[in-house]
Amino acid sequence: MKALRICISLTTCVVCAFLIACGGGSSSSTNPIAPVTTNVAAISVDGGPLGDYPDAAFASVTVCVPGTSNCQTVDGVLVDTGSFGLRILSSALTTVSLTQQTDTSGNPVAECFVFLDSYTWGPVQTADVEIAGEKASSTPIQVLSDTDFIAPSSCTSSGFGSADTLETLGANGILGVGLAAQDCGNPCPASFDQYYGCPSSTGCQPIEQPLTQQVVNPVALFAKDNNGVIVELPAVSSGGESSVSGSLVFGIGTQSNNGLGSATVYTAPEGSLTTTYNGTAYPESFIDSGSNGYFFLDSALTGLTNCGNSSDAPGFYCPGSTTSFTATNQGSGAASGAVKFSIANAETLFASQNNFALGDLGGVSSNAPPYFFDWGLPFFFGQNVFVAIEGASTPGGTGPYWAY
């Protein structure tokens, strides 16, 4: 395993230590996993394309030159409910050349997509995106590359490193299937320094990007089953397992295999929920399969020992023994529910080089206010988690919301 961890989320990322996933499911019940079919894609927690990325769920995505059968399937794409849109490494696209998007002046468009501890940079291109039996036609995606166009200082000045290679990203791409349909806003202003027109490889300048041209959550463009997704992963045993397999189900209440059932809906109009722990509410909390741990509070508030920067797991918790916690989640409505989870010693978990599905890994979310709970991939083990897209109609109401 690498001494690096990448957190994939629009809303947060924590100090990284290992490309190591999140442990422990929040439910000990056995959840049904839908078999692969036209609206169900297989996902796996198996270390990823480099074999060193635990607690990350990967899927396969097919991209095609729009309107043609010139296609390539890309494996090892990270399933991320904390971002929006498909981002594929340029190095992974070996057999297709996609259509370059241009701005109103005819210049190629590139994007700088900033996470809290890294950024992705590269051209915006158009592809037909196929996953399982679903298809999103003429979909703007980001192709990750540091060489097609040079990232301007307005993108790189954050001080974060780029995640535009297999070694830095740990995946061949990111499939952002979060709460939003597009990745910026209507429109995305030039002042956001997110979209750029590039009259030359070194002359990219910020531009306003209309909603229809932004990198889009491909699920929102499916002809059907387009109102959200369900991430389904089995529970894992204490201490972790070498790998687990699950399903990414498209649609909520659109077919017999994606009904809400008894899941509780947590509405999230601002993209967050409130987690209450020890009588204190943390309203900027969220559920994110792209984060590889339970990241919450700090050592002073949890009573857990921080592994320390000199350890093999800086930023993670290293309690003397596995410690159990209970918190309560609440959306913007009245619905609320308790979450039980546990945190084990990260150094002990990392000592097993062959376990990529870890059940009780956690770390510090912030060393200063505002504190929050990042319910990362461990939260998904053992329960089916629904993600409803903003503005989409579902049996549980209009998105955005999480349900489980």
Q: Does residue 318 sit within a domain?
A: yes
Same-domain status, 200 and 279: no
Could you tell me the mean pLDDT of each successive run of 10 residues in the chain, 404 residues long? 41 34 39 96 96 93 97 98 97 96 97 88 98 98 95 89 94 97 95 97 96 97 98 94 97 98 96 97 96 95 92 90 97 95 93 89 92 97 97 97 98
Q: Does residue 1 sit within a domain?
A: no
Q: Are strands 273-277 and 323-330 parallel, antiparallel or unpaired?
A: antiparallel
Can you tell me whether residue 115 is helix, strand or coil? coil
Q: Does residue 25 sit within a domain?
A: no
End-of-domain residue from the set 221, 241, 268? 221
Q: Is the peptide bond before 108 cis (omega within 30 degrees of 0)?
A: no
Residue 7's pLDDT is what?
Answer: 46
Where residue 124 sits, what CATH number does that domain have?
A: 2.40.70.10
Q: Does residue 243 sit within a domain?
A: no
Same-domain status, 134 and 64: yes
Element (H, E) at 231: strand 228-232
Please state, in angstroms and rounded to a whole number, the distance separating the CA atoms of residues 231 and 195: 30
The two tokens of residue 56 are: 């990350």
Same-domain status, 182 and 276: no
End-of-domain residue from the set 175, 204, 221? 221
Q: Are 188 and 171 in contact (CB under 8 A)?
A: no
Same-domain status, 352 and 306: yes
Q: What's the domain count of the chain?
A: 2
Same-domain status, 130 and 195: yes
Same-domain status, 266 and 216: no
Element (H, E) at 330: strand 323-330
Same-domain status, 57 and 115: yes
Q: Does residue 15 sit within a domain?
A: no
Q: Is the peptide bond before 210 cis (omega within 30 degrees of 0)?
A: no
Q: Are 129 and 218 in contact (CB under 8 A)?
A: yes
Q: Does residue 236 sit within a domain?
A: no
Residue 9's pLDDT is what?
Answer: 52
Can you tell me whether residue 45 is helix, strand or coil? strand
Residue 87, CA distances (Å) to 8, 125, 163, 171 in order: 12, 10, 11, 10
Same-domain status, 157 and 104: yes
| Three-class DSSP labels, 131-196 | ECCEEEEEEEEEEECCCCCCCCHHHHCCCCEECCCHHHHCCCEEEEECCCCECCCCCECHHHCCEE
The two tokens of residue 258 are: 């994606």
Same-domain status, 201 and 83: yes
Same-domain status, 146 and 266: no
Distance of CA 246 to the CA centre of its chain: 16
**Residue 299 region by backbone torsions, left for phi larger than 0, else alpha for psi between -120 and 50, else beta:** alpha
DSSP label at residue 299: H
Distance of CA 318 to the CA centre of its chain: 25
Residue 17's pLDDT is what?
Answer: 33
Task: Provide the residue range defining the domain that includes 363.
Answer: 259-403
End-of-domain residue from the set 175, 201, 221? 221
**Residue 136 region by backbone torsions, left for phi larger than 0, else alpha for psi between -120 and 50, else beta:** beta
Distance of CA 255 to the CA centre of its chain: 25
DSSP for 260-274 reads: -TTPPEEE-TTS-EE
Same-domain status, 53 and 109: yes
The pairs formed by 305-310 with CB atoms below 8 angstroms and a separation of 24 or more are 306/364, 307/17, 307/346, 307/347
Same-domain status, 207 and 69: yes
Q: Does residue 226 sit within a domain?
A: no
Q: Does residue 251 sit within a domain?
A: no
